[in-house]
Amino acid sequence: MKPKLILLGGGGHCVSCIDVIEQGNKFEIAGIVDEYVNGEMLLGYPVLGSDADLEVLRSSYDYALVTVGQIKSPSTRIRLFEYARSLGYTLPTVISPRAYVSRHASMGEGTIVMHDALVNSCVTIGRNCIINTKSLVEHDAVIEDNCHISTGAIINGGTVVRQGTFVGSNAVTRGAVETNESDFIKAGSLFKGYDNV
């Protein structure tokens, strides 16, 4: 019997996460927690309530995953992640069966690796991150907590992406550079590091 998982956030990122979770076949999606979802169902899954119901739902469910996206700020993802942890939920690492993650890479709790992403050897990825569709994280890179590596982004070898950073779609970092905390790397840009601007 697969463990039941509740999803925290019911927007566009959530529907992509649902597909990854269904394909992975390791969890049964019990439903979604989101006060803003219109209607009672999302892709066939029930809306179980709002954030205020998480404490009551804890008696029925052990697993939760933050499925709110992150563009302007990671604050909502961080708040939900920390609140779920404080209530005793387990926040699993979820990896699409269509992704490649090296067995020599490490990942923190609550991180999701989406379809066709590639995570190479000796990569360290922190907690509560999104490694989005078709992104590449090369050898020896470090992605700290609460980061979003967007669709098609390339993080080259030895790069350090500091916590809370957003790397836009198709952005590329040079190798062995370092972002600041909570940086915003624009879609399609080349990030050269702050010593090489």
Same domain for 106 and 164, yes or no, is yes
Same domain for 41 and 70, yes or no, is yes
Same domain for 66 and 111, yes or no, is no
Q: Which domain holds residue 66?
A: 4-86
Same domain for 32 and 75, yes or no, is yes
- pLDDT tens, 10-40? 999 999 999 999 999 999 999 999 987 766 8
Same domain for 159 and 114, yes or no, is yes
Residue % of the chain over a pLDDT of 90: 93
- pLDDT tens, 151-174? 999 999 999 999 999 999 999 999
Q: End of a domain among 55, 86, 117?
A: 86
- pLDDT tens, 174-187? 999 999 999 999 99
Statement: residue 140 has pLDDT above 90:
yes
Which three-class secondary structure string do you get for the chain?
CCCEEEEECCCHHHHHHHHHHHHHCCCEEEEEECCCCCCCEECCEEEEECHHHHHHHCCCCCEEEECCCCCCCCHHHHHHHHHHHHCCCECCCEECCCCEECCCCEECCCCEECCCCEECCCCEECCCCEECCCCEECCCCEECCCCEECCCCEECCCCEECCCCEECCCCEECCCCECCCCCEECCCCEECCCCCC
pTM of the entire predicted model: 0.96
Position 193 in a domain: no
Number of domains in the chain: 2
Amino acid 196: pLDDT: 57
